[in-house]
């Protein structure tokens, strides 16, 4: 049963370090019966550097803190108005590998954007989702004991200027965009249930619990 069940938590604005610690604790304490979880939230302004992150990709941090995280990938920015979905999933139980779950997360975002009549693309060489070659969603995961944590960050209605202080995801020429620039009626509150539906369907959950 547990492979078909997921708990969805809507957490609002949450401190990055506190949330990261909670993800690691849940992952470390998991057993075969632990139910998977999706956490929907936003973070106060913060740059996070992935395990492969290079310092030269941070051009100017200014007053925004920089945190060295244990996810894959390079540097990115999180801030209010960006929807984070942390995917705490037992990949062994779901019979998923890393490439497959990244593809399923990307597919969910592409489907969500299609709901708003926005055509999006993915790139094999650069995980995430793009609209007109501008990145709208970043994906970074950590796998421990066959279980995934961290997840995706979708730019909805935020201040994009801090992305100019970094080379997003390690790409100097990469431009960022967000949903509100493409559809002014979009907001996180109305968008979140749609994204949850796409994610839970694509990840094969038939029993969705909210907490």
Per-residue pLDDT, 65: 95
More confident residue, 1 or 177: 177
Residue 150's pLDDT band (cuts 50, 70, 90):
very high
Per-residue pLDDT, 73: 84
Judged against a pLDDT cut of 90, whether residue 51 lies above it is answered with no
Judged against a pLDDT cut of 80, whether residue 1 lies above it is answered with no
Distance CA 38, CA 132 (A): 29
Structural domains in the chain plus CATH codes: 2-210 (3.30.930.10)
Locus of tokens 């066959």: 146
Q: How far is CA 39 from CA 13, 78, 185, 207, in A?
A: 11, 15, 24, 16
Q: Residue 164 in contact with residue 82, Cβ under 8 Å?
A: no
Supply 69's token pair.
Answer: 């995280």
- What's the mean per-residue pLDDT of the chain? 95
Phi-psi region of 184 (alpha: psi -120 to 50; beta: other; left: phi over 0): alpha
Residue 39's pLDDT band (cuts 50, 70, 90):
very high
Judged against a pLDDT cut of 90, whether residue 45 lies above it is answered with yes
Question: pLDDT for 71-116, tens place per residue?
Answer: 988 899 999 999 999 999 999 999 999 999 999 999 999 999 999 9
Per-residue pLDDT, 72: 84
Locus of tokens 């100097």: 172
Supply 121's token pair.
Answer: 């693309």
Of the residues 124, 137, 147, 169, only one is catalytic, namely: 169
Supply 75's token pair.
Answer: 């540097």
Question: pLDDT for 123-138, tens place per residue?
Answer: 988 899 999 999 999 9
- Alpha-carbon Rg for the chain in angstroms: 16
Strands (E), the chain: 5-13, 36-42, 46-49, 66-68, 75-78, 82-90, 121-123, 126-131, 134-144, 147-155, 207-210
Judged against a pLDDT cut of 90, whether residue 54 lies above it is answered with no
169 is catalytic: yes
Residue 173's pLDDT band (cuts 50, 70, 90):
confident
Mean pLDDT of 148-156: 98
Bridge partners of 67, per DSSP, are 48
- What percentage of residues in the chain have a pLDDT greater than 90? 88
Residue 169's pLDDT band (cuts 50, 70, 90):
confident
């Amino acid at each position: 049963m547990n492979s078909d069940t997921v708990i969805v938590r809507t957490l609002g604005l949450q401190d990055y370090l506190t949330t990261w610690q909670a993800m690691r604790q849940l992952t470390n304490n998991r057993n075969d019966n632990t139910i998977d979880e999706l956490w929907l939230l936003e973070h106060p302004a913060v740059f996070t550097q992935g395990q492969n992150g290079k310092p030269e990709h941070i051009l100017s941090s200014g007053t925004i803190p920089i945190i060295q995280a244990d996810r894959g990938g390079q540097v990115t920015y999180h801030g209010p108005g960006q929807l984070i979905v942390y995917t705490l999933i037992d990949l062994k139980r779901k019979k998923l590998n890393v490439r497959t779950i990244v593809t399923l997360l990307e597919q969910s975002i592409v489907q969500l954007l299609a709901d708003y009549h926005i055509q999006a693309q993915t790139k094999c060489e650069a995980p995430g989702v793009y609209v007109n070659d501008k990145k709208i969603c970043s994906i970074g995961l950590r796998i421990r004991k066959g279980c995934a944590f961290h997840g995706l960050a979708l730019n909805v209605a935020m201040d994009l200027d801090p992305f100019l202080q970094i080379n997003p995801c390690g790409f100097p020429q990469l431009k960022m965009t967000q949903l509100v620039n493409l559809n002014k009626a979009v907001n996180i509150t109305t968008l979140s249930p749609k994204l949850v539906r796409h994610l839970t369907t694509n990840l094969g959950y038939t029993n969705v619990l909210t907490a």
